[in-house]
Amino acid sequence: MELRGLKDLLLRAANDIEFRERLLTDPSGATSEFNLSDEERNLIVSRGLTIGEVLQDKNDFYVYVKIIELFSDVENFAAFPPEIDFSPSNEVLEAAEQVKRSDLSTRFDSIRTLVAEVEGHNKRRVTPKPLDLDPIFADYDVYIAGLGIAALDQVTPEVERALGKSKEVLYVASGIGIKEYLQTKTSKVTDLSPISYKEFDNRSNAYTFMAAKVIEAALSNPPVTLALYGHPVVFAYPPFLVLQMSKALGLKAKVLPGISSMDCLFADLMVDPGQNGVLMYEATDMLLRKRPLIPDVPLILWQVGTLETSLYLNAPSKPNRFNRLVSHLREFYPEDHEIYAYFASIYPLAPPTIYKFPIKSFESHAQVLHGGFTLYVPPTVSRPLADFHLADLVTDLAHLHRIAQTEHRKSEIQSPSGPVPSGEA
């Protein structure tokens, strides 16, 4: 289905506060001008409550992000404006400025004008934007960067270059000196945490607000950086919203990896994932789906400190919070099996926080397990070999010749790092 009427309605709602109020007070009258199909009306009805909650917000960009997120699962529903890869001409940039300066009552028509200008842009040749001296970072509007865990010691050179190029850095991190460090890289620094999180509110609302602020900044004065502690796309939802919105609005975004708490856990607990593999779940999701555990594979459970809720609250847990988790673990491990509650240090000179205790004593540690803790469960057994024939073949040279293209090798000379390729000695 085309969904043209629905797209027009949602675009109008995203950019016109008065129209949003009409939708809430007189939905039949407000939607009458859009000639909606039955399929489109059914979509609105099925998401009606959520749309109503979204439309009450006063932030245009927040509404736009939520609308795109709300309908992202609908087949053939593309974000508006359409996806176009373009380098904006002066006319397009001027049209965008006019949109930002326009009154709410005329903004819808202004955006229509801008879209028409953009759609016609690819049909004529324009002077490209000057090339960036650093080609890796050329022409990006949004960087999504990981600051590492012990941020000041773990920021990569790649991330530092992005921070230095940015007109604004919007960040979520709590280490000492983070804001002061970022202020040495750019002129405008915004801490997203205090303006996004509200106690007892769903955390997803905070994530959407963060994404909206980043997109708003990127449209106003690019490039900008969304800087997050750890790795930027490991248990972080705002980056995915930012990427989705960037694609919809024709903004170019780049993800820059950082050191995650998993990397720190491997180092501090001496866990080698190449030995027995690793099984990883988000703790609440594991309980919701009754995910099976494998006692001979190390287990990492993320976000154990925020177990069983999507609402934001910075307060200690009660012992009974972990009853379901302990019960699930006992299905696969003996109750006296020792596990680790791990929190990677966010301060360069401080050690990590590690509690080691048997599963049966989990409740006694409830008050100290805050939202940053990860649970590590070592294996209880070792899985025996099942394919002895393959075990013999892995060290067999003839087998290697059968499965690899070794004909181009001039010799079988071995070096400390393996066979020497042709032309190397």
The helix (run of H) or strand (run of E) holding residue 9 is helix 4-15
Q: What is the pLDDT of residues 251-288, one digit of tens each?
A: 999 999 999 999 999 999 999 999 999 999 999 999 99
Query: For the residues 393-404, what does the mean pLDDT come to?
Result: 92
- Determine the Cα–Cα distance for residues 234 and 199; give it in Å rounded to an integer: 23
Q: Predicted confidence band at 104 (pLDDT cuts at 50, 70, 90)?
A: very low
Q: Of the ranges 27-36, 190-199, 348-357, which one carries the lowest mean pLDDT score?
A: 27-36
Query: For the residues 214-229, what does the mean pLDDT come to?
Result: 92
Nearest CA to 68 out of 79, 55, 57, 82 is that of 79
Query: For the residues 326-338, what does the mean pLDDT come to?
Result: 96
Please state the pTM of the whole predicted model: 0.65
Q: Predicted confidence band at 378 (pLDDT cuts at 50, 70, 90)?
A: very high
Whether the predicted pLDDT of 345 surpasses 90 = no
Whether the predicted pLDDT of 316 surpasses 50 = yes
3-state secondary structure of 355: strand
Q: Of the ranges 121-135, 170-184, 325-339, 381-395, which one carries the lowest mean pLDDT score?
A: 121-135
Detail the DSSP E strand segments found in 24-164: 142-146
Identify the pLDDT of residue 220: 87
What would be the CATH architecture of the domain defined by 90-259? 3-Layer(aba) Sandwich (3.40)
Q: Predicted confidence band at 132 (pLDDT cuts at 50, 70, 90)?
A: very low
Helix segments in 166-271, DSSP class H: 178-183, 193-196, 203-220, 238-249, 261-269
Looking at per-residue pLDDT, the higher value among 30 and 253 belongs to 253
Looking at per-residue pLDDT, the higher value among 147 and 53 belongs to 147
Identify the pLDDT of residue 248: 83
- Determine the Cα–Cα distance for residues 39 and 421; give it in Å rounded to an integer: 62
Query: For the residues 397-411, what does the mean pLDDT come to?
Result: 81
Domain ranges of the chain: 4-66, 90-259, 262-377
Q: Predicted confidence band at 409 (pLDDT cuts at 50, 70, 90)?
A: low
- Determine the Cα–Cα distance for residues 109 and 117; give it in Å rounded to an integer: 12
Residue with tokens 């690793």: 278
Helix segments in 221-310, DSSP class H: 238-249, 261-269, 273-276, 283-289
- Determine the Cα–Cα distance for residues 397 and 10; give it in Å rounded to an integer: 64
Looking at per-residue pLDDT, the higher value among 90 and 290 belongs to 290
Identify the pLDDT of residue 72: 53
Q: What is the pLDDT of residues 302-315, one digit of tens each?
A: 999 889 888 888 78
Query: For the residues 405-413, what does the mean pLDDT come to?
Result: 64
Distance of CA 347 to the CA centre of its chain: 23
Looking at per-residue pLDDT, the higher value among 36 and 238 belongs to 238
Identify the pLDDT of residue 24: 66
Identify the pLDDT of residue 120: 46
> For the chain, what's the residue count?
425
Computed on alpha carbons and rounded to an integer, the radius of gyration of the chain in Å comes to: 27
Helix segments in 102-202, DSSP class H: 104-121, 151-154, 157-165, 178-183, 193-196
Whether the predicted pLDDT of 300 surpasses 80 = yes
Identify the pLDDT of residue 38: 74
Name the CATH superfamily, with its identifier, for domain 262-377: Tetrapyrrole methylase, C-terminal domain (3.30.950.10)
- Determine the Cα–Cα distance for residues 136 and 422; give it in Å rounded to an integer: 32
For residue 423 the two structure tokens come to 């032309």
